[in-house]
Structure 1
Amino acid sequence: MTTGAAWTRPGQVVEALHRKWASGQYLASAAQGHDFESIGVPLKGPAAADVLRHYEHVLAWAQSWAPDRHPQLRIQTKTVGGRGGIPANPVPERVWVDTREHLWSLLGVDAEVELFHALHEQTVQRDPVLAQWMRNQPMKVLRNAGHWPLLVEVACWVREHATTALYLRQIDVPGVDTKFIESNKGILSELLDHSLPHDRIQTGAPRSDFAARYGFRSKPVYIRLRHLGSPSGPFSEFTVRATELTSKPTGIRTVFVLENEVTYLSLPPVPDAIAILGSGYAATQLRHLPWLDSVDLHYWGDIDTHGFAILSQVRASFPHTQSLLMDTATLLAHQEHWGEERSQTLESPRHLSDAEAQLEQSLRDGTYRPHLRLEQERILIRTVVRALDAVRNDDA
């Protein structure tokens, strides 16, 4: 025997239909021109014994399903009782929605449906290909309804123009700027993936890299470097596009790559050497400088899991890279300067020496202290000078 709390209420039916509406299946079916098929929802209601024992509750439940209360529904009933002294009583068994108009009214979505159809008709006139996408993704259209015409115009503009010489800033659609593109690159990517020719999409680039995926020019990679000896030109330090730094600076034999700016700026003199500011994982952009193959290359990062991950990435491009002050002796000599690496990298560096790999694993295992980190700017300057002297003597 069931109880009144378990009997299906009208609100529960509406909630169930709303969930299917939210999935988009109802509106997609309408947009695709499919005939409407009546929707039946079974009801869990009272058993025969409930009529005798809880008649007032059964009556109230049945009245909640009275047809005049639900003009959008067709109520199908069944008879319970009629035996064992229990009078026969009709009770609701299933409800049906027989038309789309009734479904929209029941769910209170008439305005959304009208809005979608209006946007769809506009898009059909502008671009039938995008209108086809809309018919499969109506809820995404509604979520972006406030600026849907602009999204369509951007997608059309990109398809109609060659983009290889352009930055995103040069998309020429009234009302659209780079902030609009960045804020909507998810939905724009879906529209472009659907409407662009396959040869216009760089499938190897993620949708998050909008410029690369759709053939726009990307922001240039810049390299900042500083002469540690006597500069061959008028500048001791400069920043240049990586694509323009195609050859080794004159007279340079040694290159140091560092992550911390103050450390980079405060390095003492080293003849025939330059320092390059790597700025975290930007150090991997050194791959744009093939001439690093012909110099003595040293990488100096923090002694933590991220530092060793960056070292591994640099060495993947330049196998002859030597680490600087990233060893156990340096770590143990600076215990008073130890810090904490809040979040260790999940990356497993593959391009480390045996000693480096052992130290990296010790950091990961918490051998000396959990989440141990020694930042490069905390290493004593006298230790830095000795390390640079050792490099200079080795290069001599």
Structure 2
Amino acid sequence: MDWIDGKVDPISYYAKLSVFRKLPIGRMAAERNRFTELFGDRVEMVDQSLPGVRGQPPVPMPNHVTFAGPDDLLSCVWSDEWPAMKKRFLLLKETIGRLVALRNNAHKIINLSDADFEALVAFAAWRRAEPEARPYLRSLNLPGVGTKWLERNIRLCRLVCADLGLEGSQDCHIEACGLHREDRREATLKWNEDAYPSPFGNTSMTVRISEVKSSPVLAKIGVVIVVENLEMLDKMRPAPDVLILFGAGHAVGPILADMGCLAGAEIIYWGDADSHGFACLSEARRARPDLRSHRMTPEILENCAHLMRPEPDAARLLNAPSGLTPDEARCCEALKEKWLRLEQEFDEDGVDELAARGLVDPLTERHMAATTEPEPEPKSKLSALRKILSAH
């Protein structure tokens, strides 16, 4: 049955007399009159005795309704909306050729403004005429179709593409609509200015990954130090063949996976020794199984005891992330037991270790006093919890 064209045989329905008979006597007449006013001469009436009323002659009650077709039925039910809705769907059917997904979303079509609907028809005509095109949205010259319009109507555009048999990626709405998605993901890099002088005099830059992922210059880098925090990127000056990369927290995995130019480099990951840090390390290792961690093993528990802080979110450590080495897993477990964390920006000894390997320059200024008073180790999780709560 195609309810848009209405080209079917007549449709018949039996009225539920039991519904009418259950109504109070006073309301029954009103509902009967409303029913007959709505459907007019399409209603067949039969004489029925009223329940609970003796000695009264039968009264006419609705029994059967016959419509000429779907168009006739819908024009009765949606007397105000149906003409406009039918006009819109006939235009979409003429433009697309068939309606399946869109037909099941009639309410979304009728609720569009005239301008938005005209833009949807223009979009449908373009997709049908150029099914292989993958332009950027900004280069798509269609009246009314822009960034804000697409944000409002992205799901309708996907339904249009589905009816055309052109729906693409299920993961990206933009690509599913036949448009090229602009990759705006970024990475912050720091390099040695003597080896790679910049015309602007800067030593770090935030760049689009899509623009540098095949860079021949970055392909020459021997070692990449990935840091979790920007403070460490600012603090260190890399050696000539070393690059410092800001991991951007949990985005580190996709960044490393897409930076194909660094495939031949040694990757060192240095993050906070805490719940987030080990989770980020796990994600980084999924992208680069060959990477090594720095200062995320049990030795830091003794060497950096004076720099430890209470872990404010120890619940995140209840399940250790996957992909950790045995030493990393032991460190993670020990921190969980003690409810402690080490933020890398306080660990200047870690910079010294990298400097001893010739990967970065030694620190010229030290901000963490070596004589910092050690923080006593919590005797139990309960005492650690009390300490955290008292600090807030």
Residues 79-158 of structure 1 mapped to structure 2, 5 A cutoff: 79=49, 87=55, 90=58, 96-99=64-67, 104=74, 107=77, 109-125=78-94, 127-129=95-97, 134-146=102-114, 147-158=116-127
User: Does the C-alpha gap of structure 1 residues 328 and 348 become closer, same or farther in structure 2, counting only changes over 3 Å?
Assistant: closer
Which segment drifts farther, 254-263 or 331-340? Answer: 331-340
Please name the residue that 1:14 is paired with. Answer: none
Q: Secondary structure at the match of 1:71?
A: helix
Kept in 2, the 8 Å contact 1:72–1:102? The answer is no
Q: CA deviation at 1:153?
A: 0.9
Q: CA deviation at 1:173?
A: 0.6
Please give the alpha-carbon distance, in whole angstroms, between the structure 2 residues aligned to 1:346 and 1:172: 53
Q: Secondary structure at the match of 1:308?
A: helix
User: Does the C-alpha gap of structure 1 residues 105 and 170 become closer, same or farther in structure 2, counting only changes over 3 Å?
Assistant: closer
Q: CA deviation at 1:191?
A: 0.7
User: Does the C-alpha gap of structure 1 residues 359 and 161 become closer, same or farther in structure 2, counting only changes over 3 Å?
Assistant: farther
User: Does the C-alpha gap of structure 1 residues 171 and 271 become closer, same or farther in structure 2, counting only changes over 3 Å?
Assistant: closer
- Deviation by residue 1:139-164 (Cα, 9 ceiling, x = unmatched): 33223354122012123224434766
- Deviation by residue 1:234-257 (Cα, 9 ceiling, x = unmatched): 35223442334245465x432111
Please give the alpha-carbon distance, in whole angstroms, between the structure 2 residues aligned to 1:281 and 1:315: 12
Please give the alpha-carbon distance, in whole angstroms, between the structure 2 residues aligned to 1:88 and 1:387: 104
Q: What is the aligned residue count? A: 342
Residues 235-250 of structure 1 mapped to structure 2, 5 A cutoff: 236-240=203-207, 241-248=211-218, 250=220
Please give the alpha-carbon distance, in whole angstroms, between the structure 2 residues aligned to 1:381 and 1:231: 27
Which of 30, 37, 40 is 2:11 aligned to?
A: 37
Q: Secondary structure at the match of 2:213?
A: helix
If the length of structure 1 is used for normalisation, what is the TM-score?
0.68
Which of 290, 300, 303 is 2:270 aligned to?
A: 300
Please name the residue that 1:287 is paired with. Answer: 257
- Deviation by residue 1:204-242 (Cα, 9 ceiling, x = unmatched): x32534137625253255443102574333352234423
Please name the residue that 1:315 is paired with. Answer: 285
Q: CA deviation at 1:77?
A: 6.0
Q: Secondary structure at the match of 2:81?
A: helix
1:218 aligns with 2:182: yes
User: Does the C-alpha gap of structure 1 residues 132 and 266 become closer, same or farther in structure 2, counting only changes over 3 Å?
Assistant: same
Which of 62, 78, 100 is 2:28 aligned to?
A: 62
Kept in 1, the 8 Å contact 2:308–2:342? The answer is no
Q: CA deviation at 1:263?
A: 2.9
Please give the alpha-carbon distance, in whole angstroms, between the structure 2 residues aligned to 1:387 and 1:314: 22
Please give the alpha-carbon distance, in whole angstroms, between the structure 1 residues aligned to 2:24 and 2:223: 90
Q: Secondary structure at the match of 2:3?
A: helix
User: Does the C-alpha gap of structure 1 residues 306 and 188 become closer, same or farther in structure 2, counting only changes over 3 Å?
Assistant: farther
User: Does the C-alpha gap of structure 1 residues 386 and 224 become closer, same or farther in structure 2, counting only changes over 3 Å?
Assistant: same
If the length of structure 2 is used for normalisation, what is the TM-score?
0.68
Please give the alpha-carbon distance, in whole angstroms, between the structure 2 residues aligned to 1:210 and 1:330: 46
Kept in 2, the 8 Å contact 1:40–1:96? The answer is yes
Q: CA deviation at 1:297?
A: 0.8
1:356 aligns with 2:323: no
Identity percentage over the alignment? 21
Amino acid across the alignment from 1:71? E
Q: Secondary structure at the match of 2:350?
A: helix
Larger fraction in helix: 1
Please give the alpha-carbon distance, in whole angstroms, between the structure 1 residues aligned to 2:153 and 2:186: 27
Please name the residue that 1:263 is paired with. Answer: 232
User: Does the C-alpha gap of structure 1 residues 340 and 277 become closer, same or farther in structure 2, counting only changes over 3 Å?
Assistant: same
Which of 313, 338, 341 is 2:311 aligned to?
A: 338
